Structure 1
Amino acid sequence: MNTKDLLLQEIEQVPEPILEEVLDFLRYLKAHKVLQKQEATLLSEASLAKDWLRPEEEEAWRDL
């Protein structure tokens, strides 16, 4: 049985108030994952910008 099947099995056995908490937590986890990806993108962009803005890079890409 995979994780999804196990979760569905557990969901069938719990009362509605617990399901509401589980749903809230699942939504939190999904939002948190999106924020982590955005943070990584911003940090990468800031780090790479140092190289992108160098005169040598500007020269290398000028004729492309």
Structure 2
Amino acid sequence: MHRPTNIALARNEKEEEIPAFKNPEWQANTFAAELLAPPHIIKGLSAAEVALTCGVSKDVASIQLKNL
């Protein structure tokens, strides 16, 4: 599956904004939010409560709550 080619990363030399869907950190946080903090468990909780209950970071908790 892996070929010896260059891997395109979501980085640039300039200070341009990278779209969220190309940002690997955003992708990882969004995936973690969906996997570790499902909506039926976190509904009605604060970001801090979601982080403690599900064992995720506050960033992940905030992402998931924002997407409810």
TM score, norm. by length of structure 1: 0.31
- The structure in which a higher percent of residues are helix is 1
TM score, norm. by length of structure 2: 0.30
